[in-house]
Chain A
Amino acid sequence: MKIKISKENLQSEFVRKVERISGETLSNCYQCGNCTGGCPVSYEMDYGPSQIIRLLQLGEEGLLMNANSMWVCVGCLQCYSRCPKCVSAANILEALRQLTLRKGTDHENVSDLPFPFLKNAPQQAIVCGFRKFVS
């Protein structure tokens, strides 16, 4: 795969928005990979947390927004907890989710959720799930 790198992409509105929403500074990340190494769900992600940050550093919006990573992140904060540079990949993934959800695009369709889940699951699972997956 070839990624086109340009000044416009590096300083794009998208990248600045992610930084603004997440409160993280992308250039702080020196790509040590500790987040990917410790992430319990990186095996399931199209791109691990450190790769997500790398793609953002490169200003690559397309690959990022089509990746499943943001929807797989469990928000366990292991990435942030061990980051030697105090960067929160979890915040960045949340920002990507927010960018989608704020446009009104849901990841989960509420009416499709199975009834046993809604009946038996702890309220917190449902509330938290709605916050992460539904606009």
Chain B
Amino acid sequence: MKIPYYPGCTLNTVAKDFDTSAREAATVLGLELKELDQWNCCGASFPLTPDNVMGLTAPTKVLVNARKEGDTVTTLCSVCYNVLKRTNKAINDDRDRRNLINEFIEEEYDGSLQVIHFLEVLRDRIGFDKVKNLVKRPLKGIKTGTYYGCMLLRPFEDIGIDDPEAPVIFEDLLRSLGCEPVEFPNKIECCGAHLAMGNEDVVVRLSGNVMTSAIDSGADLIVTSCPLCQYNLEKSQKRLVQDTADYSGIPVLYFTQILGLALGQSEDMLGFEKNICDIRPLLKEKGV
């Protein structure tokens, strides 16, 4: 199965591990993530004011290019997913905006594309059962804090991937890999997002809350699907480790890295060494 894939800017640069681990895992699952021939930045934020049509032009361009390659496009980054899916819906639902954008970018796009997250590919197209059958290295006893953040879930009526208050898609995936997902209070709370620019204190507080609440709930590691969450968590972790005596840290990984690990990819290929908190001692300790 071949599926058109939009990596987005960050996965091409600082979150390269996210991209490569996903492509590798997909291969094992009999899937090819086919990168779009042509793509541009999605804009990294869905314009919250409906009068901002300009902000929709870049993601629409992406959708137009993706539509040329099929009726579906998948993403890994939560933000890209959010922006593309909401833009697609806006174009589908709102004829005025659709006409305006089409005129501007000189295209005829109708919103007929299906934007799905790679998690949905795993859940709905492959099936977690099948994933489970292909696991070579069951991650038994690893307690995972599944961090959804915001963009993967909200707003529900546009995104609709899962229950926005009590989502389970991440947990279900990790359970199929042998992990033991733990419930933690901040799993759908914000990491601080773009306040990384200029307001680091807020980011450290919010991301810190995410990590401490996961640790307090017994998590051994945190998984995420958003490079910005990962960055904010890791950056805050660096400061917390320095500044706080009793803060021991927690590995923060992309879900595809864990997926790859369970599917038998080599630890050395997954980029674990880049984390502030290394997962490898934990793996050894748990004997997986």
Which residues of A approach B to under 8 Å, CB–CB? Answer: 20-23, 40-41, 44, 71-72, 74-78, 80-81, 88, 90-91, 94-95, 98, 107-108, 113, 117, 120-133
Cβ contact within 8 Å between B156 and A98: no
Cα A108 to Cα B13 with chains together (Å): 24
Q: Is B197 an interface residue (CB 8 A)?
A: yes
Interface string of B202-228 (1 = CB under 8 A from A): 100010000000000000000000011
Cα A88 to Cα B190 with chains together (Å): 16
Cβ contact within 8 Å between A72 and B195: yes
> From residue A119, how far is it (CB to closest CB) to chain B in Å?
9
- Across the A-B interface, the 4 shortest Cβ-Cβ residue pairs: A129-B197, A76-B190, A94-B48, A127-B44
CB < 8 Å neighbour of B193 from A20, A76, A88, A127: A76
21 A-B residue pairs with CB within 8 Å? A20-B51, A21-B51, A22-B50, A41-B195, A72-B195, A72-B199, A74-B150, A75-B194, A78-B188, A90-B48, A91-B50, A123-B14, A124-B10, A124-B227, A124-B228, A125-B196, A127-B9, A127-B41, A128-B79, A128-B194, A131-B43
CB < 8 Å neighbour of A81 from B9, B49, B155: B155
Cα A96 to Cα B154 with chains together (Å): 21
Interface string of B9-38 (1 = CB under 8 A from A): 110011100000000000000000000000
Residues on A with C-beta less than 8 A from B231 are 120-122, 125
Cβ contact within 8 Å between A80 and B49: no
Cβ contact within 8 Å between B55 and A131: yes
Residues on B with C-beta less than 8 A from A23 are 49-51
Q: Which residue of A lies closest to B46 (CB)?
A: A75
Which residues of B approach A to under 8 Å, CB–CB? Answer: 8-10, 13-15, 41, 43-45, 47-52, 55, 77, 79-80, 150, 153-156, 164, 188-190, 192-199, 202, 206, 227-228, 231
CB < 8 Å neighbour of A128 from B45, B49, B202: B45
- B interface SS class: loop
Residues on B with C-beta less than 8 A from A131 are 43-45, 47, 55
Cα A95 to Cα B49 with chains together (Å): 6
Cα A21 to Cα B9 with chains together (Å): 29
Cα A107 to Cα B227 with chains together (Å): 24
Cβ contact within 8 Å between A76 and B49: no
Known pairs A41-B206, A78-B154, A91-B48; list 12 more (Cβ under 8 Å): A21-B51, A72-B195, A76-B189, A76-B190, A95-B49, A121-B196, A122-B228, A124-B8, A124-B227, A127-B43, A128-B228, A130-B197
Q: Which residue of A lies closest to B78 (CB)?
A: A124
> From residue A24, how far is it (CB to closest CB) to chain B in Å?
9
In the complex where A74-B195, A81-B155 touch, is A123 in contact with B10 (Cβ < 8 A)?
yes
Cα A130 to Cα B190 with chains together (Å): 19
Cβ contact within 8 Å between B194 and A77: no
Residues on B with C-beta less than 8 A from A132 are 45, 194
Cα A130 to Cα B13 with chains together (Å): 19
> From residue A43, how far is it (CB to closest CB) to chain B in Å?
8
Residues on A with C-beta less than 8 A from B206 are 40-41, 74
Chain B CB within 10 Å, residue with most, of A71, A76, A133: A76
Cβ contact within 8 Å between A80 and B154: yes
Cα A71 to Cα B44 with chains together (Å): 17
Cα A121 to Cα B15 with chains together (Å): 10
